Amino acid sequence: MLDLDTPLSPTLRAPSIHWLATLSPSPSLNVSSTHTAYQPPEPPIGDVAHTYAFFLFAPAPANVVVPAQRSPFNWEDFLRGNGLAERDVVARNHFRVRNLAGTPTVEVFPPERARETVSLASGTGAAGAVFTGGVGSSRVKSGMGALVVGGVVLGI
């Protein structure tokens, strides 16, 4: 699970990793290995809503290379280090969290990052959605259905 909106300085936001796990390929989809301990979503009080994203890959790498640090998380380095590419993302889901409980301890937050836009694919035989902006480049994934999973790497 990635927080795509972690403030690193008053002018910079970058992704940070909150959880990296490998799921078993069995029908139960149990977490078979936790590579980074789970950190719950907890954006700074008063900051903009943070986007927390899950990415599922197939096939999963044989040996997961864990990032040396949680933040900033470098998407391209993670893909390259694990022999993955954007085309290996078979599903993605996200949710947004804003923390309004309490008094902000930071007076200045970096500007909000550009949001990813989603539109349905169109045309004869089209399926899936087109994602533009955000992490990575534009891409089309066809044939995806609803999927609720709490891991980043999936072995199928």
Q: What are the structure tokens assigned to 71, written together?
A: 């933040």
Question: b or e along 64-81 (b: 16 or more beta carbons within 10 Å of the residue's beta carbon)?
Answer: beebeebeebeeeebbee
pTM of the model: 0.70
- pLDDT per position as a tens digit, 95-134: 999 999 888 888 788 989 887 654 444 444 444 444 444 4
Q: How far is CA 100 from the centre of its chain?
A: 23
Residue 141 burial by Cβ neighbours in a 10 Å radius (0-12, 13-18, 19+): middle
Q: Indicate the domain borders of the chain.
A: 2-114+150-154
